[in-house]
Amino acid sequence: MLMPVLLWGCPPVSPMPDSGEEEEEVPYEGETVSGVIPELPPEERLVTPVDAGTFSIETRCCNLRFSIADEEAADVTGTVVGSFAPLDAEGLDLVRDGGTWSAAACFPLGASTAYAYHFRQWVPFDGGSESDAGEADGGLDGGDAGDGGSWVVSARYSQSEPYFSDGLGNSVNYIPAVSDCAVLDASVGMLP
């Protein structure tokens, strides 16, 4: 009984009559409060090109020598790895000579990178042998060859080259971005 009374008290809802006329578009005349950005008039949409001058890509590089003391076992291989070429991807192979690991590369001007020395050694499991290393994937992820063993990778930094802490408790070396090779710290190991 209550329901018919409630419906009876409300006026009926009817759609707006269609007059057949289109609404007149009102042009933008100033600040809005609705958050709608008005479309720019065509004459204001044109962008005038700006001459930014000569653009050149730096192709010069600085010859650098990377070196770190040899503290690894005889069967270890080493690389120096960073995040910018030529240290990216696989890095540079290190050569062991007279108690030092070293590599040389031409590093681009204007680029900087953190880098570390990676040392890789095959560690056989019980019953495995060094010949099983050929079956392993050999990647820096410690890939294994079944029950034969695993590649173990350790990373070190050189205290004789510029270094910093990465915030995770690891120290890494770095090459600062420079515009002239003479600016590089001699401790990075500039070659003549």
Question: Is 10 among the domain residues?
Answer: no
pTM flag (> 0.85)? no
Domain extent, residue 98, equals 61-119+152-185
Over residues 60-75, mean pLDDT: 89
Domain count for the chain: 1
The structure tokens listed for 126 are 């019980």
By 3-state DSSP, what share of the chain in percent is helix, strand and coil, each rounded to 5?
10, 30, 60
**Is 15 within a domain?**
no
Tens digit of pLDDT for each residue in 28-59? Answer: 566 555 556 667 676 666 666 666 666 566 67
CATH code of 88's domain: 2.60.40.10
Give Cα 53 distance to the centre of its chain.
Answer: 30
Report if residue 172 sits inside a domain: yes
Residue 80 lies in a domain: yes
Confidence band of 76 (pLDDT split at 50, 70, 90): very high
How high is the pLDDT of residue 36? 61
Can you read off the two tokens belonging to residue 111?
């680029």
Tens digit of each residue's pLDDT (9 = 90 or more) over 130-156: 554 554 444 444 444 455 788 899 999
